Chains A and B, each alone.
With several copies, the nearest count.
Chain A
Amino acid sequence: MDLTWTESQQAFRAEARAWLTEHLAAWREAHGGEHAIRSGDTREGFAQHLDWERDLYEGRWAAVSWPEEYGGRNASLWEWLIFEEEYYRAGAPPRITQNGIFLLAPTVFEFGTPEQQAHILPRMAAAEDLWCQGWSEPNAGSDLAGIRSRARRVDGGWILDGQKTWTTRGAFCTHLFGLFRTDPDAERHRGLSYLLVPLDTPGVTVRGFGRLDGDEGFAEVFFEEAFLADDAVGGGVLLGEEGQGWKVAMATTGSERGLTLRSPGRFLATVHRLIELYQANPRPDRREALVDAWMRAEAYDLFTLDTVTRLAGGAVMGADSSINKIWWSELDCDLHELALDLLGPDAEREGPWSKGWQFALSGPIYAGTNEIQRNIAAERVLGLPRK
Chain B
Amino acid sequence: MFFGFDDDQIAFRDAVRDLLEKACPPEVVRAAWDAPAGELDRGVWDQLAEMGVLSTLVAEDAGGLGLDERSLVLVLEETGRAGLPHPIVETATVAAPLAPEVGGALVASDLGGPLVPAAADADRLLLRDPDRPALHLVEPDAVTLTPVETVDGARRAATVAWRPTPDTLITDDPAAVDLAFDRGAWGAAAQLIGLGQRMLDMTVAYVTERTQFGVPVGSFQAVKHHLADALKELAFARPAVQRAAHSLAVGAPTRARDVSMAKAMASDAAWFVGRQALQCHGAIGYTVEHDLHLYMKRTWALAKAWGDPAWHRDRVGRAIGI
Contact = CB atoms under 8 A, between A and B. Distances in A.
Contacts of A295: 240, 261, 264-265, 313, 316
B261 A309 contact: no
Interface stretch (A140-148, A197-205, A229-237): A140-148
Contacts of B278: 212, 361, 365
The number of chain A residues touching the other chain, given as a range, is 35 or more
B215 A345 contact: no
B174 interface: no
Interface in A1-24: 1-6, 9
A377 B232 contact: yes
B288 interface: yes
Given A1-B2, A310-B4, A286 B287 contact: no
Contacts of A279: 321-322
B167 to A, nearest CB: 29
A302 B239 contact: yes
26 contacts: A2-B1, A3-B2, A3-B246, A142-B217, A209-B287, A212-B278, A212-B286, A212-B293, A287-B322, A290-B322, A291-B320, A295-B313, A302-B3, A306-B242, A340-B304, A348-B151, A349-B148, A350-B151, A358-B151, A374-B222, A374-B228, A379-B224, A381-B228, A382-B227, A384-B207, A384-B218
A345 B113 contact: yes
Interface string A152-170: 0000000000000110000
B229 interface: yes
Interface in B249-307: 249, 261, 264-265, 275, 278-279, 282-284, 286-289, 293, 300-301, 304-305
B148 to A, nearest CB: 6
Contact of B1 (A4, A282, A294, A299): A4
B14 interface: no
Interface in B136-181: 148-152, 155, 157
Q: Which of B243, B284, B289 is packed against the most chain A CB atoms within 10 Å?
A: B243
B245 interface: yes
A78 B243 contact: no
B70 interface: yes
Interface in B221-248: 221-225, 227-229, 231-232, 235-237, 239-240, 242-243, 245-246
A347 interface: yes
A384 B223 contact: yes
B310 A306 contact: no
Contacts of B316: 291, 294-295
Interface in A223-253: none
Given A326-B232, A345-B308, A387-B215, A365 B282 contact: yes
A32 interface: no
A354 B151 contact: yes
Given A210-B289, A302-B240, 9 more contacts: A209-B289, A214-B288, A296-B236, A348-B304, A349-B148, A365-B278, A374-B224, A375-B225, A377-B228
A366 B322 contact: no
A85 to B, nearest CB: 12
A386 B219 contact: yes
A374 B213 CA distance: 16
A287 B301 CA distance: 23
Interface of A: 1-6, 9, 78, 136, 139, 141-143, 146, 165-166, 209-212, 214, 218, 275, 278-279, 282-283, 285-288, 290-292, 294-296, 298-300, 302-303, 305-306, 308-310, 313, 320, 322-323, 326-327, 340-341, 343-345, 347-350, 354, 358, 361-362, 364-366, 369-371, 373-375, 377-379, 381-387
A139 B227 CA distance: 22
A374 B225 contact: yes
Q: Which of B151, B227, B278, B316 is packed against the most chain A CB atoms within 10 Å?
A: B151
B212 A142 contact: yes
Interface in B1-25: 1-5
A20 B275 CA distance: 36
The number of chain B residues touching the other chain, given as a range, is 35 or more
A78 B1 contact: yes
A166 B232 CA distance: 29
Nearest to A78: B1
Contacts of A384: 204, 207-208, 216, 218-219, 223-224, 227
Contacts of A361: 275, 278, 286
A309 B3 contact: yes
B156 to A, nearest CB: 12
Contacts of B237: 299
B39 interface: no
A291 B322 contact: yes
A348 B208 contact: no
Contacts of A4: 1
B221 to A, nearest CB: 7
Nearest to B207: A384
Q: Which of A345, A361, A362 is packed against the most chain B CB atoms within 10 Å?
A: A345
B322 A341 contact: no
Contacts of B70: 1
A165 B287 CA distance: 11
A82 to B, nearest CB: 9
A302 B228 CA distance: 20
Contacts of A141: 212, 282-284
A136 B283 contact: yes
Contacts of A296: 236
9 closest A-B pairs by CB: A378-B224, A210-B288, A302-B239, A143-B212, A377-B228, A374-B228, A305-B3, A384-B218, A323-B232
A361 B237 CA distance: 24
A364 B282 CA distance: 9
Given A1-B3, A306-B4, A348-B300, A275 B286 contact: no
Contact of A377 (B213, B223, B231): B231
B283 A349 contact: no
Contact of A298 (B221, B261, B305): B261
Contacts of B218: 378, 384-385
